[in-house]
Amino acid sequence: MQPRVSSIEDGKDSTARCQSRIFPFNLLKFFAIFLVLGLGFSILSMYMTRYFTVQNVVPVTRTGFQLCLHEPNNIDRWIKPPSSLMHSMNDEELFWRASLVPHVKKYPFRRVPKVAFMFLTRGPLPLYPIWEKFLDGHEGLYSIYVHSLPSYRPTFSPTSKFYQRQIPSQVTEWGRMSMCDAERRLLANALLDISNEWFVLLSESCIPFYNFSIIYNYLRRSRQSFVGAFDDPGPHGRGRYNANMAPEVNITQWRKGAQWFAVNRKLGVNIVEDTKYYPKFKEFCRPACYVDEHYFPTMVSIESPHLIANRSITWVDWSRGGAHPATFGKADITEAFFTKVLEGGHTCLYNNQPSSLCFLFGRKFAPSALEPLLQFAPKFLGFG
Ligand SMILES: *[C@@H]1O[C@H](CO)[C@@H](O)[C@H](O)[C@H]1NC(C)=O
Ligand SMILES: *[C@@H]1O[C@H](CO)[C@@H](O)[C@H](O)[C@H]1NC(C)=O
Ligand SMILES: *[C@@H]1O[C@H](CO)[C@@H](O)[C@H](O)[C@H]1NC(C)=O
């Protein structure tokens, strides 16, 4: 029995020995085939990438090897704005990225400064045809950013200047910190384009009051940014101050102003990078303290009072009284309206000199105002 057993065991052994000799050989063959296939596939995809680079079809998830061929490796890499405004950065990541500032002040390329028009909206932009007319012929001197409710799906045609200009958005509530978050999000996304130099916050009810050249030059020649900021001693001003904000903010530093700002790049970065004032306003300025009327005006007035003109360049009509400014509809848009608003004897300081050109934009215009606005634009607004 034993030899048999042993012979069986021998047989087992020899099979095992045989298998162990065949196995590495198979494995080697397998790897060789795998290698050849892999190499073939890589070469194929290299050619594919070369042919298809223009269409930007290579998804980010492919190997870094292919991305290297795809990504510009010259200075364009740092100055070209992202081809798509969509990204998956959260606010913390976005604000960090947007706060990166070059310390060599001379740009080693021809930088044409642009105006970033940043629309803070709930959804549709009913007055967009006015903006399209206003911007026509000034390509390369502006960019558009739109923050709307995240659920809103815009329907702009591919030929529109507003096509795919939506930024990753979140739900916002008037008078709450989520409103300032949205404004900072607009700024931060616009800061990602190194050519943007002026950042104008607008709502869906805003229109431009002058042609593009006048507005562009007004911003370009201004030594200051336009942030409305004043010290209101009453209940709707200092009355909203909370002593818990000290020592970062004391009551003499408390400011009020409408949220519609136009700031330069330096101030834009200051607003996005703030971590000193933000927590104080978030915690201690809640309705009836409307944080969007106080946070930026107060912070900027403390940090860089010499950089702002303390006034907004967005006109609004409070003359009717009440808690809300007037909204202008179809029936309001007449020749007399333009004469009154545009030549209304405004006075302000521009670069510390008295000026009658104080308001470049106006609100609030209802959707029904679109038709007469388009009709009067060539005569009164200088475009269209
Ligand atoms: C803009 O308006 C000003 C003043 O009305 C005019 O002199 C200028 O030619 C206009 N610019 C354009 C590009 O239409
Ligand atoms: C508030 O700040 C100003 C300027 O720094 C200072 O003069 C004033 O004494 C401070 N007031 C209080 C109540 O701390
Ligand atoms: C704006 O107000 C600040 C005080 O908050 C002041 O220091 C500054 O000079 C004012 N700027 C202009 C242009 O009036």
* Beta strands 314-315 and 361-362, pairing class: parallel
pLDDT at site 323: 83
In sequence order, the β-bridge partners of residue 198 are 115, 264
Q: Is 225 in the pocket of ligand 3 (CB under 6 A)?
A: no
At what angle are helices 295-303 and 177-191 packed, to 10 degrees? 60
Question: pLDDT tens, position by position, for the chain (384 residues)?
Answer: 333 333 333 333 333 333 444 444 565 565 565 556 555 556 555 555 444 444 444 444 444 444 455 678 899 988 998 889 999 999 999 999 999 999 999 999 999 999 999 999 999 999 999 999 999 999 999 999 999 999 999 999 999 999 999 999 999 999 999 999 999 999 999 999 999 999 999 999 999 999 999 999 999 999 999 999 999 999 999 999 999 999 999 999 999 999 999 999 999 999 999 999 999 999 999 999 999 999 999 999 999 999 999 999 999 999 888 889 999 999 999 999 999 999 888 999 999 999 999 999 999 999 999 999 999 999 999 999
Enumerate long-range contacts of 240-246, CB under 8 Å, 24 or more apart.
240/285, 240/288, 240/289, 240/290, 240/294, 241/289, 242/284, 242/285, 242/289, 244/280, 244/283, 244/284, 245/280, 245/281, 245/284, 245/285
pLDDT at site 251: 98
Residue 115 in contact with residue 159, Cβ under 8 Å? no
Q: Is 305 in the pocket of ligand 3 (CB under 6 A)?
A: yes
Rounded to whole angstroms, the Cα distance separating 309 from 312 reads 8
- Distance between Cα 211 and ligand 3 center (Å): 29
pLDDT at site 83: 85
Residue 179 in contact with residue 172, Cβ under 8 Å? yes
Q: Is 227 in the pocket of ligand 3 (CB under 6 A)?
A: no
Transcribe 192-230 into DSSP letters. TSTTEEEEEEEETT-EESS-HHHHHHHHHH-SSBB---B
Which domains are present in the chain? 76-312 (3.90.550)
Looking at the chain, the number of H-run helices and the number of E-run strands are 12, 9
Rounded to whole angstroms, the Cα distance separating 210 from 19 reads 86
Give the number of C-alpha atoms closer than 13 A to the C-alpha of residue 367, restricted to the C-beta side: 4
* Beta strands 114-120 and 196-203, pairing class: parallel
Which bound ligand lies closest to the C-alpha atom of 342?
1
> What are the distances in angstroms from CA 37 to CA 44, 46, 65, 283, 323?
10, 14, 17, 60, 72
Q: What's the CA angle centered on 348, arms 343 and 353, to 5 degrees? A: 115
Residue 298 in contact with residue 227, Cβ under 8 Å? no
Which bound ligand lies closest to the C-alpha atom of 383?
1
234 burial level (CB within 10 Å; 0-12, 13-18, 19+): exposed
Rounded to whole angstroms, the Cα distance separating 275 from 299 reads 11
Closest to 292 in 3D by CA, of 301, 307, 281, 280: 281
Rounded to whole angstroms, the Cα distance separating 376 from 27 reads 80
- Distance between Cα 301 and ligand 3 center (Å): 7
Q: Is 309 in the pocket of ligand 3 (CB under 6 A)?
A: yes
Measured by CA distance, the residue closest to atom 11 of ligand 3 is 309
Name the residue of 211, 215, 356 whose CB sits within 8 Å of the most ligand 1 atoms, as the mutation to test its pocket: 211
Which bound ligand lies closest to the C-alpha atom of 216?
1
Name the residue of 252, 304, 310, 347 whose CB sits within 8 Å of the most ligand 3 atoms, as the mutation to test its pocket: 310
